Amino acid sequence: MPTLTRLALAVLVLLAASTAHAASNGSETLLRGLWTEAQLAGTPADRVVTKPWAQPLDNSPPARLTPETTLPPVPADLREVIRRVNPAKGERLVALTFDLCERATNVAGYQNEIVNHLRAQHIPATFFAGGKWMRSHPEKAMQLMADPLFEVGNHAWTHANMAVADDAEARRQVLWTQAQYELLRAELARRAAAKGLSAEMAAVPPVPRLFRLPYGRNAERTLDLLAGLGLPIIQWDVLGEWNDGSGSPQKSAEYAVKRVRPGSIILLHANAVPKNTQLVVPILTRMLAAGGYHFVTVSELLRAGTPETVRSGYFAKPGDNVQYDTLFLGGGTQHPRPTDAKHP
């Protein structure tokens, strides 16, 4: 085969691989084939968050307790808490991550304005969804699963603190969430089949492939437990919702941008609990883009370089999250009752 022909063939192979990779988290055809623009845009009702204990405590499990898909164990270089990545080529890459937390004592929301902005600007992101949150918001969870811009990670069933949960509870929190994702993926596949779009399901991962620690907390044993379940632990090195008391979205964005480095992972929320995140995100993404940063999912970031890890997770400095070991009840799954005079 002539050298030029071989080169052209190699280029075609690389392009094909790149295209397949870009669609590895979903399918635009699937997304647009199952929901209208209005359905994807959502409404203010999506953002409703119920008050703690406004309804009965919900520790009920999903319809299936264990996932059908088993992931291979995490490789040695990904077995600690990953705070950021050092890009091998020095690229200005950054990963936006959004937690979708929900405890046993209330129902969180879905900040559709954030997702609408990301879609409008074609910005990839990683969403770490709690299993109970996915059960409470099945349509939104399936939309995120189907969208090729986004990947969905595991954020525990009811936001349990892995530093205080015993091994049995920690496993339940992880596996119930994997199983709930599978149940929704099965419904997504059913709808896709009804529309003649079954082939598009190949792009939707069978289960989440990443894990985020609730409160950023873990015990030493958590590292082995999650590694055995095949889930790298993804932390962050930049807080995207910093607040000096003024509630200024501009100041939050500026605080984050000053701390971003190539390979940074930024912590944000899309469950409508932080009040100004939907105002921070457009400012933050505009400033990062102006600084030459390229947005990627966490999985893309991991493939681009070497992870920077720690043994124990934290927010901005070691030990700044230990208060969550006693601030919430039930291993972190419950708010204290309104009648409680003080936290335990």
253 pLDDT above the threshold of 50: yes
Please compute, for residue 233, the number of CA atoms within 13 A of its CA located in the half-sphere on the CB side.
Answer: 33
Query: What percent of the chain shows pLDDT beyond 90?
Result: 89
Split at pLDDT 50, 70, 90, the class of 340 is low
Q: Give the largest CA-CA distance in the chain.
A: 81
Average pLDDT over residues 134-158: 98
- CATH node for 21-47+74-332: 3.20.20.370
For residue 18, pLDDT beyond 50: no
- Tell me the domain boundaries of the chain: 21-47+74-332
Chain mean pLDDT for the chain: 92
More confident residue, 23 or 255: 255
Whether the predicted pLDDT of 22 surpasses 90: no
Q: Is the pLDDT of residue 344 over 90?
A: no
Closest listed residue to residue 153, CA positions, set 14, 298, 27: 298
Tens of pLDDT, residue by residue over 298-331, are 999 999 999 999 999 999 999 999 999 999 999 9
Residue 133 has pLDDT above 80, yes or no: yes
pLDDT (0 to 100) of residue 69: 98
Mean pLDDT, residues 124-139 taken together: 98
Burial class (CB within 10 angstroms; exposed 0-12, middle 13-18, buried 19+) of 58: middle
Q: What is the pLDDT of residues 63-87, one digit of tens each?
A: 999 999 999 999 999 999 999 999 9
- pLDDT the model gives residue 5: 39
Give alpha helix (H) positions in 75-137: 112-121, 131-136
